[in-house]
Structure 1
């Protein structure tokens, strides 16, 4: 670039003027003439002020630096620290601006996650208690265990054992969550963002849940994954959903989330039908891998103080449903409730949800084992809920997904038991409200505007399917 060189004695940090050179060496002007450099040529700097930054085997050193220029070496050594300080300061300002939002990851925790030094004593205790070592790939992804976790003889220390025993006492410490008659908003990937959840909350949703987050990405401290944990103060009952295929990773991820975030429950994803996830053993694939699912539920429920729920489908195919067999065991594994989507993995979102299976074998298994059950699938009108509530075999609560994407006021319709013939101007006000909430959440700069526009267009792919009640020949209409 062009421009004068900066005196190190005046500023304390070098304004590096780089010029291409063979190899990895890069010229740096520390002082001297304010001449103009050109692409491919060295800047005209006096020899006694010239030095080179050389990168060898991933390490950066400075050749030609004198004793008087040690501040340059200090700057190089502290570069990572300075960058982290800048990020931390930006994070503090971000949290101060968004005082109405919660669950910001602390900078020290993010750094510990990325360095694999975060402390997860309950998870360590559970994994050792199982007596099975994870495979090498899983071990590389896991956080490092502290030396203090082991006593000299290799056994668990007393306080760690006490913590583990206390974690297994289900009824004494776990906060109960009354689901009876509640309306839950499903965890919707991409679409279930914070501004949209605020819209649904204002329309009558009782319980909200964040988008699906991957356990491994959580442990790696990825900002994109931790952003899914964000919660608004309007969400009085809020949970997060995590997905993964390794009990060791999921257990540790759940403990970190419960410790760093304010959540009312943690949901385990066993219902995602996407091949990208299932082929790796996550999502719906866990329903056929009980040897993985059991320690996963046991581990998560052992390391967190909030309720743990499991969301699943009826099975891999509609002809071979096995959800009822899993439901009968979930309570003994530590789950607080189960949500069943009335479709199989192969069905994805096609054809009708099998509510006969939900209110039949699934509900019977839930009642016999004493675990609450939430029904999900094809809830598009208030009649869909009221009709099932009037039946003898009725789920404890209902979860709404696509119905809330097409018309987010469905929660109010269910509670008031009437069709809300909403006008176009009222719908436009809802869209304006989303835009306002989106700019509050993502920011009013170019990036924030682009994100708000992107997620609104995603939502619009469902909103356009709404048909005003006044245009219908008969009501209610079905989703499929």
Structure 2
């Protein structure tokens, strides 16, 4: 298992409620270089909650595969790492130091670690020292309230992180402030470990712009892939325009993976994805109304084929 940083890496960002196993396996099949679990709390891992153990599962295609953890206490993090050490098939541990959600920050985890670089380094060192995985990476923001990314990046490097992903906003910038790609570029120039750029990377052209502006070693795409998982296909194949039949294939593959993983309930769960997929298509609102009542996998499969492949014809 080896990540090749000699050409840009295309990574799927962890997004709670979206980047579950079916979605990850689809982007992996169609071009993502690396997939990462949804964020998992170190406490939940230590207590082996059932839901958490299910979140750790990976698809057969997911190679390499990372698990992202959050935590503020190096002792608890160490115990969480020891649990992960017992699980085969995980290639790296990613530490979340970017999550801006108040309940995570209140516990001193996520982006709260950016306010305390000593603790930030201590937790990275703890993972690095106790993990038996190939890689240890860190996902950060530009700072908590003000930009401090050069110091943050250097601290991550000094603590032993193999690479870092930088989301180009501060914690106080939430998800709405403009992304500061120049600040990412400064951090990239200040360290020798690989740096991945993240934040508002929504399409093929924007990816090229971000890679050029930041000189980073790859991009991590989250929200830009929801409803458009084919962005990885476009990047991998250097194709700005994507054929409709490839889109339809990807949508159908996503549906099949959902049903495989969740059983019949996958049909219901897939409705929210179909709402996003059908945006901008003629007849989308009627299509949405019809699928909202469908519970049968066979019926849903027929409707998806009819709606998306017809558009591709």
Q: TM-score if structure 1 supplies the norm length?
A: 0.55
Which residue of 104, 114, 118 maps to 1:277?
A: 104
Match of 1:450 in 2: 265
2: CA distance between counterparts of 1:441 and 1:205? 20
CA contact (8 A) 2:31 2:232 kept: yes
Match of 2:76 in 1: 249
2: CA distance between counterparts of 1:271 and 1:462? 26
Matched, 1:227 2:54: yes
Match of 2:251 in 1: 431
Change (3 A) 1:427 1:397: closer
1: CA distance between counterparts of 2:2 and 2:255? 35
Change (3 A) 1:466 1:379: farther
How many residues align structurally? 280
- Once the two structures are superposed, residues 168-221 of structure 1 have per-residue CA deviations (whole angstroms, 9 ceiling, x without a partner) of xxxxxxx86333311111111110011111111122111111111111111111
Which residue of 365, 378, 382 maps to 2:190?
A: 365
Which residue of 157, 164, 167 maps to 1:331?
A: 157
Matched, 1:346 2:166: no
Change (3 A) 1:388 1:277: closer
Any unmatched runs of 5+ in structure 2?
Answer: 283-313
1: CA distance between counterparts of 2:162 and 2:138? 8
Tell me how far 1:231 sits from its aligned partner.
1.0
2: CA distance between counterparts of 1:354 and 1:275? 22
Tell me how far 1:292 sits from its aligned partner.
2.2
CA contact (8 A) 1:309 1:335 kept: yes
Tell me how far 1:383 sits from its aligned partner.
1.6
- Once the two structures are superposed, residues 139-180 of structure 1 have per-residue CA deviations (whole angstroms, 9 ceiling, x without a partner) of xxxxxxxxxxxxxxxxxxxxxxxxxxxxxxxxxxxx863333
2: CA distance between counterparts of 1:346 and 1:390? 26
Q: How does 1:20-419 map to 2 (within 5 A)?
A: 177-180=3-6, 181-305=8-132, 306-317=134-145, 320-360=146-186, 362-366=187-191, 370-390=192-212, 393-419=214-240
Give the number of the structure with larger relative contact order, counting CA–CA contacts within 8 Å between residues 6 or more apart: 2
CA contact (8 A) 1:383 1:417 kept: no
Any unmatched runs of 5+ in structure 1?
Answer: 1-174, 444-448, 469-480
- Once the two structures are superposed, residues 29-87 of structure 1 have per-residue CA deviations (whole angstroms, 9 ceiling, x without a partner) of xxxxxxxxxxxxxxxxxxxxxxxxxxxxxxxxxxxxxxxxxxxxxxxxxxxxxxxxxxx
Tell me how far 1:343 sits from its aligned partner.
1.4
1: CA distance between counterparts of 2:225 and 2:57? 20
Q: CA RMSD in A?
A: 2.2
Tell me how far 1:420 sits from its aligned partner.
2.4
CA contact (8 A) 1:375 1:398 kept: yes
Tell me how far 1:379 sits from its aligned partner.
1.3
Secondary structure of residue in 2 paired with 1:232: coil
Secondary structure of residue in 1 paired with 2:14: coil
Q: TM-score if structure 2 supplies the norm length?
A: 0.82
